[in-house]
Amino acid sequence: MTKDQTRGSKPVIMPHSYDGIQEYDQSLPNWWLFTLFGSIVFAFLYWLANFVTGTLPDDRVAINTEIDALEARQLAAIKDLDEPTLWKMSRNSKTVAEGQAVYNSLCFTCHGPTLAGIKGLGFRLNDDLWVHGNTPTAIFNNVSEGITFEGKPTGMAAQKVLGTGRIAAVTAFLLSKQKEGAMKVIPRKDEPSQLTP
């Protein structure tokens, strides 16, 4: 439509009519066209950044991290640390990361950086074989109160050093390497990383 068609006169009506409905011959305003083409360009760039190059952060990752952080706080507030709670903690990425930090600051000195155990110092903790109890609460108690073998204290009684929260987290970290129901008890002499072969 030219300027002359609007100035002073009535807008021009298109010759066709559908079901009795007629159409003005108006060009779309620039702001409207700008929004349309702008959103097409934006959608293309967004698609490129999100699905092709992966430059934008993934919302699902951010949401899961936040949900895990919330759940970790809820779990940490539970006073009665029973088996299901400790298993739940072992599936929470935030709690497991906290437990791993505790492990790396303390436990690795005797159990090794990869949990494979160190002969003469500490048992292997990344297999499914357990000498002093194969349940989450047994592991928690072994770390918390230490272990007595032949009347002598061994292992590490960590309650005073770490407190319940961090012991629960490090237990969750150890459990995160285990399968529920697949942990076995073995005699001390059969422990692969046994102190005295």
Residues near ligand HEC (CB under 6 A) are: 106-107, 109-111, 121-123, 125, 130-132, 139, 142-143, 147, 149, 154-156, 158, 170, 188, 195
Give the nearest distance from C-beta 187 to ligand HEC in angstroms: 11
Q: Tell me whether residue 69 or residue 131 sits nearer to ligand HEC (CB atom).
A: 131
Q: Look up tokens 């919330």; give the residue.
A: 70
Give the nearest distance from C-beta 96 to ligand HEC in angstroms: 13
Question: How many whole angstroms separate alpha carbon 111 and alpha carbon 99?
Answer: 14
**By three-state DSSP, how is residue 46 classified?**
helix
**Continuous H helices in 91-196:** 93-102, 108-111, 136-145, 159-175
Q: Tell me whether residue 86 or residue 123 sits nearer to ligand HEC (CB atom).
A: 123
Give the nearest distance from C-beta 148 to ligand HEC in angstroms: 9
Q: Tell me whether residue 72 or residue 115 sits nearer to ligand HEC (CB atom).
A: 115
Q: Tell me whether residue 69 or residue 110 sits nearer to ligand HEC (CB atom).
A: 110
Q: Tell me whether residue 16 or residue 160 sits nearer to ligand HEC (CB atom).
A: 160
Give the nearest distance from C-beta 89 to ligand HEC in angstroms: 14
Q: What are phi and psi of 161, to 5 degrees?
A: -75, -45
Q: How far is CA 163 from the centre of its chain?
A: 24
Give the nearest distance from C-beta 149 to ligand HEC in angstroms: 4
Question: How many whole angstroms separate alpha carbon 145 and alpha carbon 153?
Answer: 10
Q: What is the dihedral of CA 14, 15, 18, 21, to 10 degrees?
A: 50
